[in-house]
Structure 1
Amino acid sequence: MVKQYFVDVWHGDMRVPATALQQLTGLLTDDERCKAEVFKSALLRDRYLAVRGLLRQILAGYLDVEPSSLAFETGRYGKPALIGYALHFNLSHSADTLLLAVADFAGIGVDIETFRPRQHLDRLAERCFSHQEYQDWCQLSADARFEVFYRLWTKKEAFVKAVGRGIALGIEQCEFQLEKGGQLLAIPPEYGSANTWLVHELDVDDASRAALVTPACYYDLRLLALPID
């Protein structure tokens, strides 16, 4: 019998009410609260507190433990992970939106990017896309290029996060089909064949693009709203 795994992607606004922020802050360790005080911007401080609190609250809900009891470690290239549990996560945020993917298997990556005007989009695409991606992208209309840029960008970011390398891997080495729903075509050989990875485009809102990358396996995928009172 084939094991059925799960991936839950939690999403929502990081701007939580003051009472909710106070409750989330109470879930943090002393070290996390000290780190929050380093931020000179109140906005960035509150975002940090909200993200760390939500991360602990959500993960603890799966494990039926106290949020403050969870311990984390950082991989060689900076990818965070839980210590002592077979539960895996990855998170991303852009503007005010947070994405948190939780799964019962390793190798997941998620990314969200909010649309914003970019100067020299063509130069950025040439640097970050593979040669074939860039050639195909240049054949699109100006309006289509903007949307497809973000579609590819989030998928590339999600993949390099899934393998735990981040952009140091070289996102131009990860090649995707340009069309909506397009999958991986080529990746660095140390990460196997492109068809051993699965890509989902996440329908979060109209102002951004988001993507999830996982090893190719059978799992239930759910989009869930952040538990903010």
Structure 2
Amino acid sequence: MDGCRLWLGGLDAAGVPYGDPHGWLTAAEQSRLAGLSAPLRRRQFLAGHWQVRALAAGFAGGMTRDWRLAAAPDGQPWLEGPGDVRLCASISHSGDWLAVAVATRAIGLDVEVPRRERDYDALARHVFAPAEIARREALAPSDRLAAFNTTWALKEVFGKRGGQGLQPHAARHIASEMAPDGEAEAFSWALPCEGALALAAWPGVLPELESTGPVGVARGWRYRPVG
């Protein structure tokens, strides 16, 4: 079995059994949850950790509660299920949006939905490669926010896949560029309100996306080192 599956939706669509989180969270997860005081962050945590289990059960079998979520030394999450099946996992949320993914190889997932004004030009100069900056600046001003979120998400997922996270200096030396199916190692989807969903996986992957709302057509990408 080799593949990747994603789920995207609102927090309320995750169907979390909020009444008894201790019945399915690991001790480490319970400790993390206890450290979260903001109601939204607690909802995001529970929804993400439940839905990634549900996705794993649908992908590889077993019941949702059969899957245990843990983190490798580099911080990358993984799931262990019935029969010692092990899957890589990734969770992302932005406001009321939630995205989760499971796969047989290392992955990174990110959802970006703009919620406040930011200095997008300065952020692009700080993190994007020169070709990515030029690609965005060539667009009409009305299209630049969506392009920023797509490129930013592609940066995030590259770092998550590798376990190092988004590091600005390193990110400026990796450029994302469009790639045809069969060669793409990453994908992006446009979301409402100029948001974006992105996944980094491996060349030739064909991810399966389940969404409870409208998403754009998948676009394939690859990463190229730049000087």
| Length-normalised TM-score, structure 2 | 0.75
Higher relative contact order (CA 8 A, sep 6+): 1
The match for 2:217 is: none
- Give me the whole-angstrom Cα distance separating, in 2, the residues matched to 1:225 and 1:217: 26
Q: Which 4+ residue blocks in structure 1 deviate beyond 6 angstroms?
A: none
Tell me which residue corresponds to 1:173: 173
Partner of 2:140: 141
Do structure 1's residue 157 and structure 2's residue 156 form an aligned pair? Answer: yes
What is residue 112 of structure 2 aligned with on the other side?
A: 113
Q: How many residues align?
A: 208
Q: After superposition, give the CA deviation of every residue in 1:193-212 in whole Å (9 maximum; x if it has no partner).
A: xx965222225544521111
Which one has a bigger Cα radius of gyration?
1
2:200 to 177, 196, 213: 213
- 1:1-229 alignment runs, 5 A limit: 5-15=2-12, 20-22=17-19, 26-65=23-62, 67-83=64-80, 84-103=84-103, 105-168=104-167, 170-177=170-177, 182-183=178-179, 197-219=184-206, 221-225=208-212
1:19 and 1:111 map into 2 onto residues whose CA distance is 21
Instruction: Decide whether the 8 Å contact of 2:124 with 2:133 is kept in 1.
Output: yes
1:12–1:98 contact (8 Å) kept in structure 2 = yes
Partner amino acid for 2:96? D
**Structure 1 residues not aligned, in runs of 5+:** 185-194
Cα deviation, 1:100-151, whole Å, max 9, x if unaligned, reads: 1122x21222111002343321111101111222234333332222121111
Instruction: Name the CA distance, whole Å, in 1 between partners of 2:100 and 2:160.
Output: 13
**Which secondary structure does the structure 2 equivalent of 1:53 belong to?**
helix
> Structure 2: which 5+ runs fail to align?
214-227
Q: In structure 1, how many angstroms separate the alpha carbons of the residues matched to 2:92 and 2:143?
A: 25
**Which residue is 2:219 aligned to?**
none
Distance 1:31 1:18, change over 3 A: same
The percent of aligned pairs where both chains have the same amino acid is: 23
Q: What's 1:187 paired with?
A: none
Separation in structure 2 between the aligned mates of residue 17 and residue 61 of structure 1, nearest angstrom: 14
CA RMSD of aligned residues (A): 3.1
Cα 1:118–1:171 shift into 2, 3 Å: farther
Distance 2:146 2:59 in 1: 35
Which residue identity is paired with 1:211? Answer: A
Given the superposition, is the C-alpha separation of residues 223 and 203 from structure 1 closer, same or farther in structure 2, using an over 3 Å criterion? farther
